[in-house]
Amino acid sequence: MIRRVGARPIVRVVYDAEALDLRVRELGAEITAAYPSGDLLLVGLLKGSFMFLADLVRRIERPMQVDFLRASSYGAGKESSGEVELLYDPETPLQNKHVLLVEDIIDSGRTLNRLLTVLRSRAPASLSVCALLDKQLAEPLPETRFVGFKAPTAFLVGYGLDHAEDFRHLPFIAEVG
């Protein structure tokens, strides 16, 4: 078991690899059932969702397309700056598609609110959110349809989540000190 990553200690493992795998399988089945027909486009929010998205698409048992977008509101800090900057936009047209925005973690909700506004303006057939983690700090959004886990308010890393670009490689989600 990894006890430190660089100089930062892991306080505790919040979700181990087995729990993540099980929940992603369940989410894949839920998404498969929720979208029996129509064009489905999963839009992964980079960089944090990449591991979750990769595992999730292998568990959804229907045709789909995948694209990405990238936004930033953290920089090198541990708290959102409140400013959301779009760094990369999906190339796939969203019009008349069922769009599922795949997010690593819902924290303040600022980034997600900004992105949903942008995506809604592109006339998808439907727009929903699948988040691996929800800290339940933000006002609930009706688009949040699939949630892996209710997360503690601690600073979490691993399974794609980072702190200043470190810790993404961990196969589990942990709280760091």
Report CA-CA distances (Å) from 20 to 73, 132, 159: 25, 9, 9
Catalytic one among 21, 107, 134, 166?
Answer: 107
Euclidean distance between the first and the last CA atom of the chain, given in angstroms as a whole number: 16
In the annotation, is 162 catalytic? no
DSSP state letters, 98-144:
EEEEEEEEESSSHHHHHHHHHHHTT--SEEEEEEEEE-S-SPP-TTE
Q: Which residues are catalytic?
A: 107
